[in-house]
């Protein structure tokens, strides 16, 4: 991996911009909402905005752990496996439950730390690192554990990096939709 302070490549600049834009879009989606609303009103299912932000951070930590394993020549999916809706739901609910009693300020600080860790990771990656691949916990190959997995059975480091901002955007769209629905209901 590269060193902090290095000159950014075009790829790093693009990824950092997308990550920053996703963060800004998320916080723009909640402008004007007080902490009580962020922590108590259900956006989707029984998840509040606070729960969603905690969920995003939990997955980002997973993505970064997987990236580090891939950079070390390992397949994270060979260490643990997450498959099917039941596994994903159980994993998600586990992390929501662990963070449910956190204050909004604690969740927001956790997200800020997560964002900084993602920026640092992107800045430390060398151009060739983005192409490295590994079997991730949600790939079917994580069950079979082939000695030589096919490219389709793996994710690249670049893909896992893009999951950071794509996941934020996915949940921001949910919040934006909830805000529109909430505005209609409060007319």
CATH number at residue 21: 1.20.120.450
Which residues form the domain of 37? Answer: 10-185
> What Å distances lie between residue 162 and 32, 73, 78, 119, 186, CA to CA?
29, 20, 22, 12, 36
Q: Which residues contact 102 (CB under 8 A, 6 or more apart)?
A: 50, 54, 110
The total of structural domains in the chain comes to 1
Confidence of residue 84 (pLDDT cuts 50, 70, 90): low
DSSP type of residue 148: S
Let me know: does 43 contact 174? Beta carbons within 8 Å.
Answer: yes
73 lies in some domain:
yes
Task: State if pTM tops 0.85.
Answer: yes
2 lies in some domain:
no
More confident residue, 140 or 69: 69
């Amino acid at each position: 991996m590269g060193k902090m302070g290095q000159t950014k490549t075009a790829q790093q600049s693009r990824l950092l911009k997308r990550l920053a834009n996703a963060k800004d879009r998320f916080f723009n989606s909640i402008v004007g909402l007080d902490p009580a609303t962020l922590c108590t009103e259900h956006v989707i299912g029984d998840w509040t905005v606070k729960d969603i932000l905690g969920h995003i951070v939990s997955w980002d930590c997973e993505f970064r752990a997987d990236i580090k394993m891939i950079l070390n020549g390992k397949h994270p999916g060979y260490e643990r496996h997450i498959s099917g809706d039941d596994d994903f739901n159980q994993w998600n609910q586990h992390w929501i439950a662990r963070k449910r009693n956190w204050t909004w300020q604690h969740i927001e600080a956790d997200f800020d730390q997560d964002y900084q860790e993602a920026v640092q990771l992107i800045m430390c990656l060398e151009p060739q690192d983005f192409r490295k691949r590994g079997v991730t916990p949600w790939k079917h190959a994580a069950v079979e554990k082939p000695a030589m997995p096919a490219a389709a059975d793996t994710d690249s480091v670049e893909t896992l990096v893009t999951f950071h901002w794509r996941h934020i955007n996915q949940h921001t769209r949910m919040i934006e939709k909830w805000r529109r629905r909430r505005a209609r209901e409060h007319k």
